[in-house]
Amino acid sequence: MTDNTGADLAELGAQLAETRAKQAELVARLAQLVRAEHARGVSEYVLAEQAQVSRSTIRAWLGKK
């Protein structure tokens, strides 16, 4: 078993926070693009397939919950 020091925990915590911030940015960009494509007439099913998310996620991004 690896001995994790406080520095290791802090480093991993910082990496996790950075990764989560990047993920949030990517999700926001993807949702914005989904809304734009939907406005152009692309179906929710096609959007879900292309974005690799569920149709319910697409509907939530479109404000249809």
List, for residues 23-65, the tens digit of each pLDDT value: 999 999 999 999 999 999 999 999 999 999 999 999 999 999 7
- Band of residue 6 on the pLDDT scale cut at 50, 70, 90: confident
Number of domains present in the structure of the chain: 1
Q: How far apart are CA 57 and CA 44, in angstroms?
A: 10
Residue 51 contacts residue 58 (beta carbons within 8 Å): yes
Query: Does residue 4 register a pLDDT over 70?
Result: no
Q: What is the domain range of residue 35?
A: 6-61
Residue 1 inside a domain? The answer is no
DSSP state, residue 62: T
Q: Say whether pTM exceeds 0.85.
A: no
Question: Tokens for 21?
Answer: 């911030």
